[in-house]
Amino acid sequence: MNYDREKVRVAAFYDKRTGSFQYVVSDKETMEAAIIDPVLDYDPRAGATSTANADEIAEYVSRERLHVAWVLDTHPHADHFSAAPYLAQILGAQTAIGEKVIEVQRLWKDIYALDDFETDGHQWDHLFADGETFKVGNLEARVMLSPGHTLASISYVFDDCAFIHDTLMVPDSGTSRADFPGGDAHALYRSIRDILALPPQTSLFVGHDYGKDGREPVAMATVAEQRANNIHVADGVDERAFVELRCQRDATLPLPDLMLAALQVNIRGGRLPEAEDNGRSFLRIPLNYFKPHPSN
């Protein structure tokens, strides 16, 4: 999926297995680019990683003759591994995430009992502060702190395009959950209202879509479309009503299939745990920390 704006070109790549959108945003004048939320493939039955999604992105970058300056994550993902370090290495780019990731690292360090794990964010090249700006070619990007789904969630605003991760879904699917450790439905509502205060024509690119009622997955809706039609937060829905709805919905949801595998990788910036003496890496599963879902 490709979206052309006056200054910005956005290529969206969809991972059907996790319902995730990955993006390449580029400055049409200079051909400099950033990659946002790339997926490292993981087969839980085999315990095996692969790079099919990331290689598709790298092939697009090569074909379009782009120079990638940044590989960006919006937050530590709970439903897929990040391919940021892989793509940064092969493309010569810097990695970055929001500075609140340190709080997420501290939280999950305790859950996983990672005694020697350093929770200082050094696993990325740069940690963005709320309101910080950076350049991609001639484009100036602005960072918005957007907590609620996680403590560390940020949005990236490039001209009239914003990459809003797991705050909003497209209008017929509402919003993302806020019940993970560190999540907060009140904070999510306020983050969404900040995003919906962007100019009405701003294209909002979402982190996930699952093809509701069999339709094709959709990557984007405008601020105006979200404010008019979003089933959870259209104009007129106040914070109290949203929080009640969101909490009721979250109480029915099982944990994402890959959450306990993914977060121990993603708090490491997308790197696998260090290999043991036998040369193999191992994942940890915190038994009985989370309650079983009634459907299991």
In contact, 75 and 153? CB cutoff 8 Å: yes
The pLDDT of residue 2 is: 86
In contact, 180 and 142? CB cutoff 8 Å: no
Q: Residue 18 contacts by C-beta under 8 Å, 6 or more apart in sequence? A: 39, 79, 80, 208, 258
The pLDDT of residue 47 is: 96
The pLDDT of residue 194 is: 97
Q: Name all domains of the chain by residue range, CATH numbers in brackets.
A: 2-266 (3.60.15.10)
Model pTM score: 0.96
pLDDT (tens, 9 = 90+) of the chain, 296 residues, equals 788 888 899 999 999 999 999 999 999 999 999 999 999 999 999 999 999 999 999 999 999 999 999 999 999 999 999 999 999 999 999 999 999 999 999 999 999 999 999 999 999 999 999 999 999 999 999 999 999 999 999 999 998 999 999 999 999 999 999 999 999 999 999 999 999 999 999 999 999 999 999 999 999 999 999 999 999 999 999 999 999 999 999 999 999 999 999 999 999 999 999 999 999 999 999 999 998 877 76
In contact, 97 and 134? CB cutoff 8 Å: no
The pLDDT of residue 6 is: 82
The pLDDT of residue 4 is: 82
DSSP-assigned letters across all residues of 159-212 = TTEEE-TTSB--GGG-B----STT--HHHHHHHHHHHTTS-TT-EEE-SB---G
The pLDDT of residue 215 is: 92
In contact, 204 and 222? CB cutoff 8 Å: yes
The pLDDT of residue 293 is: 79
Give the chain's largest Cα–Cα span.
59
Local structure of 18: helix, strand or coil: coil
The pLDDT of residue 296 is: 64
